[in-house]
Structure 1
Amino acid sequence: MTTPTHLTPLSAATAASPFAGADLCRLAGFTLPTGAPRPVFEDDIWDFSQVIGMPAYLANCARRLDFTQILNPRWKTVAKEYAAAQMAPGHEAVRLLPYANRNIKAIGTIYRELLELVRWLNWLTARGIRHLDEVTEHHCTSFAQYRATHRPNGTKTPHRESVHKLVASVILGLVQYGELFTTDRYRDGLRPFAGHTADEVAGTDSGPTENKIQPVADEVFQPLLAAALYLVQTLAPHLVRELETKRHEDAVRASLPVSALTNPVTLEEVLHRHVTERQPFNLLPTWSKSRTWGLGKEDPLVRVNLRAIAHEAGKGVISPQLLSQMRAAIEKAVQDAGVAEPFCRDATLMERAGGHGSAPWSLPLAERDLRTLTGVVKTATHLVIVALSGMRQSELREMNVGCRVPPVEAGPGLVRYKLASRVVKDKPLGGVADEWVVVKEAYDAAEVAEQLLGPDTDIGDPLVTGPLDRTRFTTFRNWVNGPAGQRLGLVPIPDGPVTARMLRRTLALEIAYRPGGLLAAKVQLKHLSVVTTEGYAARPGGAQAKFLAEVNAEENERNKDLVLTEFRRYQQGHLPAGPGARDLIDFFASVDRQIARTSAENSVVVDSDQQVRDLLASRAEVLHLGVANYCWFVDPSKALCLKLAGTPDATKPLVGMCDSSRCPQATHHPCHRPVWATSAQTKQAFIGSIARRQKTEKARLQAGLDRDLAVLATIDATV
């Protein structure tokens, strides 16, 4: 990027902004529900949270552009004008700027830039800068160095290159859009970072390189995916049934009256049932405030969920009077039946991972632990989908309930499974609907994810309600490596980085290194270009180079066959025709003499096709096929096409400009006769249809016809 060396002077202080009064959603082409508030340029908070089509992965905070944090009032307008220009590059005041960005930026990107812009402007304010024309290159460099090591929370931790680039982009952006600003701008001639681009400042402008996202290490990926598949395929059905039971109990409990239980007979029936059926009473949750309701730490009933007993009796709570009256009977029943966590009691046996025996699918769990287990299995479903489909994080978040496309039988015993979502990256707001062909394991994982959401969800509700981030991966790993996972025989997952992007790259490598896999990976990963897929496959430029090498090798073999065919015809007395025939005949004669000399010297007959092909290889390397001739590109200085085009230094002929009847390196052979015959017939037909007064056109066509007939005559003479 070259920064402008001069900016026009600021307008008067009262000059209105080109975006004054603008409806921002209309400006950016956003669609809002009927009756939704529409942010305007003058608002200090631009709320786009209700815009239809916002990507699901975008956090709620990123849908609100907050300018209230900027301390200098005049710089609020600068920040607003900068943000509005990013949203509407086609605006009449923006498209005239020579250095403005021509593509619409996503709200998420503008949000991140605004955060950095707020830090930059407030950093200037803290150093006594009141006007942007006081900013120097030293200020720009100092802030970039400060942000390279300081995080917003005050800690000193080096940032990634992407943060360095964002900082530089914001500082340089105020230069690019300076002519647009109505309240303040940099001084004329300011060139932050000595005119370097944001990529150069961040050190990322080094040309095409291998994808920086590394695949998940095998020693981490294998136990990770194995554990996820085990939870989805084996444990999840038991968990789903437990959650259904819990939802039913919650519904029953919600319908109970809030009145207190006062009937001792009803309470006695509940206590008797627990004792006779050996059914433990529910433990009181550790977080429940009921522990402070008049019960000391040493009280025998402090660990018992008395509210659950009341619910069994059809009431909300047990009255204090009844508790005092029946305390002895309750304590005796608790002593006989015991207490236990309320969920996953009497869990059925299932086969442990690896086939090493069986174990209950879960130990008794408290409600909080059941939520944790549900979250772990949800993570497993999302992990399986990403690892086996290659979906981006944004595409995973766009999946909805009902995303499973009905399976299609592609052949006997072959079923094709698809998951529907939306491609968001590099697409218009709202994304583009698309489908992913997946293996059955990923398809089943999506079904389990729907079941875990419960019956209250409807078709079209989000299937994934949170990002598949480091916190969820860590929780999943800790559960697998903890007592619960080890009890089920799961292989511990070693420490090592795991992200959704790393899983996507791992799949790309697995697909790309199979026969024809690079194109398959491009299709599966929804890449716009195979070059991107090559980067994922750690082969930048590799597929294209390999493809071209294979094409060149095939062309060379084909050329050797053609030259061998013409050499055999020469030996049979059938000579080539055309201006270059004499040179080709001389070459064939020299090869013939070499064969004879070699045979005489070694007393061995050199006549096999492979041996002759080797002798003809030098001429095959310069053979180029024209539509109606062979071009023997031995000497570029003799090529008529290059002379006509004025490119004498070219390394290949311009076959489309070939005039083989005059080029000294062109030859005609029997295989070319149909082309010349067709051309002659066409010209004859046109000449017969031309009026007498069109003498010039008739003369031009007649000259071409004479040329075609002359070539045909020379070809026929060699047969």
Structure 2
Amino acid sequence: MGTYRKQLDFTLIINLQWRLVAKEYLFSRLAPRHPVVAGSASAFRVPLNPSTLWNELRRLTRWFNHLSQTGVEHLAEVNQRHCISYLNVVVWKEAKPGEPVSPSTIAAHIHSTQVLQQYSGILSEGYASDFVPWGGRSADDIAGYIRSTENQVPPVPDTILRPLLANSFYLIETIGPLLAAETSRAREFDELQKQSIGGLKLSARPRLRIAIERLHQAGVAAPRLSASGITKRISQGWDAKDPLLNLAWHSVVTTTVGAMGHRRDLEALRPLLVAWVNECGIEEPWCRDGALVPRLDNQEQIPWAIPADRSALGTMKSAVESAAFFVISALSGMRASELHEIRGGSLAREDMGNGIYRHRISSRRIKGQQFGGIDDLWVVIEDVYRALGTVESIQDAKSGDLLFTKQSNAAHSRYLRLRKWMSGPCGQRLGLAVVPEGPVSPRALRRTLALAIAQRPHGLMAAKYHLKHLSVATTEGYAARPGGHQAAFRAEISAAEESEHLRLTVAAYEDYKQGKLPSGQGARELTRVSPPSTKP
């Protein structure tokens, strides 16, 4: 859930009294077991998800402000005319007034106007006692929204899935181990910086001089200062043409003698430093002398990374983590909420004998549970196990550390950043394929996997990731925890299988009517006509 969804801003409601009404209503939805709420016969009994709470406030704000703009000052003044005028507004997108919204969105807006009536005994202000918005008609009926029990989430097309997974596995298996080593070195530097709290002593200058001379003689380029650091130096009066302007002096002192570098120390060693910089140059401090790896597209040997600053290193780390995120989603069927609950130490590998291993991931089941969820377990294939192991090594995750939970958990934003990185200079240097535009989310990947297992198509999943293994993993996960979410995923697969069987049966019947007989195993039994019964 994005950080912005954790902030409920009631100040956007124009009418001050209705801000209180919104607070009363939303907190009643958040705490249905509160004695005041529990005593209401019409109140809901299931607490709202915090993300849904934010959406509900947004819809209430729009409804209340519409009433204010039409001259209504008290909810008791609301009548059906206001409801109709509001409907004429919400059928269009706020950001794009000429573009209609979906019937489900319209129904949600209408429901927000109706639900206040159910809490009239709790709210400090409500509709008139004889007024029921829309005369009690359902929001779905008003919006023309027809609910379906079928899964409406479209699968990810092969044209998107193929390059996405190919790129992701390359990043996980080829770049991941090298990146883990580099990020480990960066963490060691951070730890050294924490310990280097004292200034450089005069007695340590000779040791620093010797260290710099050795770097100079070895032809090692000096470390480059960050762009923000350069800007700060110029603001402090440094000459823009100073040959040491770009030198990360503090890093030099920290890594060589474990102290803090100050300007006075730099000036004392300026001739030595200028000679070093002029002869060896200045280079980004990370990913130097990168090991050779094959490009993904043509197998040409290239350095796995070019010298980078800390920001670029962090961006690459984020890209590999996101690649693992979507691989795990695509090959396990885990929901986004379950992926975000994966912690360090959640991997388990069981030796079944005869070279067979069973891989499991511990997570938490969030959907349909009380806040915080409950522990759950997923049986996965080895590809998923390795992907998560790469994330743990890159992060040096301790047991219990959340692996995929950042400031914003929006999977859509994560995917857009990953796709942009893949098609950018860094990704193209590695020979990654450009992933076509199109929506990709854990929901869509889950649907793709379910359909792939159910229909056994001749696509990417069938060709590369052994659907039998995926099917066995989900079946074993279901058997191990019949009430878990892997059981729910198995139910989705079963529903897709039934739909596919029906489609194939209808297609076979239509072919039969046109004289096209089935072929293959069982064809004779299928077309055999039973003799008429001789029984009276």
CA distance in 2, matches of 1:156, 1:67: 28
Q: Which residue of 1 aligns with 2:532?
A: 615
CA distance in 2, matches of 1:390, 1:495: 22
CA contact (8 A) 1:417 1:440 kept: yes
AA of the residue aligned to 2:401: D
CA distance in 2, matches of 1:333, 1:173: 73
Q: Which residue of 1 aligns with 2:107?
A: 165
Q: Name the count of aligned residue pairs.
A: 493
Q: Which residue of 2 aligns with 1:279?
A: 220
Q: TM-score, normalised by structure 1?
A: 0.62
**SS at 2:152's partner residue?**
coil
Q: Which residue of 2 aligns with 1:221?
A: 161
**SS at 1:130's partner residue?**
coil
Cα deviation code 1:125-153 (max 9, x no counterpart): 343311112112222232333334354x7
Whether 1:430 aligns to 2:372 is: yes
**SS at 1:79's partner residue?**
helix
CA distance in 2, matches of 1:276, 1:155: 67
CA contact (8 A) 1:232 1:445 kept: yes
Structure 1 unaligned segments of length 5 or more: list them: 1-57, 551-609, 620-631, 633-719
**SS at 1:317's partner residue?**
coil
CA contact (8 A) 2:365 2:375 kept: yes
TM-superposed CA distance for 1:327, in Å, is 3.1
Match 1:526 to one of 456, 474, 486:
486
CA distance in 1, matches of 2:494, 2:374: 24
CA distance 1:307–1:292, change in 2 (3 Å) = farther
Cα deviation code 1:320-345 (max 9, x no counterpart): 3x544543332222111111110111
Give matches, 1:225-624, under 5 Å: 225-260=165-200, 265-288=206-229, 289-311=232-254, 312-320=256-264, 322-353=265-296, 356-409=299-352, 411-454=353-396, 457-466=397-406, 467=409, 469-514=411-456, 526=486, 528=488, 532-533=492-493, 537=496, 613-616=530-533
CA distance in 1, matches of 2:441, 2:68: 39
CA contact (8 A) 1:261 1:317 kept: no
CA distance 1:202–1:469, change in 2 (3 Å) = farther
Whether 1:198 aligns to 2:139 is: yes
CA contact (8 A) 1:511 1:521 kept: no
Relative contact order higher in (CA < 8 Å, ≥ 6 apart) = 2
Cα deviation code 1:585-644 (max 9, x no counterpart): xxxxxxxxxxxxxxxxxxxxxxxxx88x42219x7xxxxxxxxxxxx9xxxxxxxxxxxx
Match 2:60 to one of 94, 104, 117:
117
**SS at 2:531's partner residue?**
helix
CA contact (8 A) 1:261 1:313 kept: no
AA of the residue aligned to 2:139: A
TM-superposed CA distance for 1:475, in Å, is 2.0
Cα deviation code 1:541-578 (max 9, x no counterpart): 55689899x9xxxxxxxxxxxxxxxxxxxxxxxxxxxx
CA contact (8 A) 1:242 1:344 kept: yes
TM-superposed CA distance for 1:177, in Å, is 2.9
CA distance 1:306–1:474, change in 2 (3 Å) = same
Q: Which residue of 1 aligns with 2:463?
A: none
AA of the residue aligned to 2:336: Q
Q: Which residue of 2 aligns with 1:128?
A: 71
CA contact (8 A) 2:343 2:400 kept: yes
CA contact (8 A) 2:224 2:283 kept: yes
Q: Which residue of 2 aligns with 1:55?
A: none
Larger CA deviation: 483-492 vs 164-173: 483-492
**SS at 2:228's partner residue?**
coil
TM-superposed CA distance for 1:121, in Å, is 1.9
Structure 2 unaligned segments of length 5 or more: list them: 457-466, 479-484, 509-527
CA contact (8 A) 1:385 1:391 kept: yes
CA distance 1:368–1:96, change in 2 (3 Å) = closer
Q: Which residue of 2 aligns with 1:27?
A: none
Q: TM-score, normalised by structure 2?
A: 0.81
CA distance 1:212–1:296, change in 2 (3 Å) = farther
Sequence identity, in percent?
30
TM-superposed CA distance for 1:69, in Å, is 5.0
CA distance 1:183–1:403, change in 2 (3 Å) = same
AA of the residue aligned to 1:615: P
CA distance 1:484–1:127, change in 2 (3 Å) = same
AA of the residue aligned to 1:393: A
CA distance 1:86–1:236, change in 2 (3 Å) = same
AA of the residue aligned to 2:414: R
AA of the residue aligned to 2:390: V
CA contact (8 A) 1:512 1:519 kept: no
CA contact (8 A) 1:144 1:168 kept: yes
AA of the residue aligned to 1:252: L
CA distance 1:292–1:540, change in 2 (3 Å) = farther
TM-superposed CA distance for 1:107, in Å, is 3.5
AA of the residue aligned to 1:315: A
Give matches, 1:144-183, under 5 Å: 144-151=87-94, 158-178=100-120, 180-181=121-122, 183=124
TM-superposed CA distance for 1:236, in Å, is 0.7
AA of the residue aligned to 2:343: N
CA distance 1:532–1:444, change in 2 (3 Å) = closer
TM-superposed CA distance for 1:78, in Å, is 3.2
CA distance in 2, matches of 1:202, 1:541: 28
CA contact (8 A) 1:382 1:468 kept: no
CA distance in 2, matches of 1:90, 1:191: 26
AA of the residue aligned to 2:290: A
**SS at 1:405's partner residue?**
strand
CA distance in 2, matches of 1:275, 1:518: 59
Whether 1:187 aligns to 2:147 is: no
CA distance in 2, matches of 1:358, 1:529: 42
**SS at 2:532's partner residue?**
helix
CA distance 1:91–1:331, change in 2 (3 Å) = closer
CA distance in 2, matches of 1:306, 1:126: 61
CA distance in 2, matches of 1:424, 1:493: 31
TM-superposed CA distance for 1:182, in Å, is 5.1
CA distance in 2, matches of 1:163, 1:360: 50
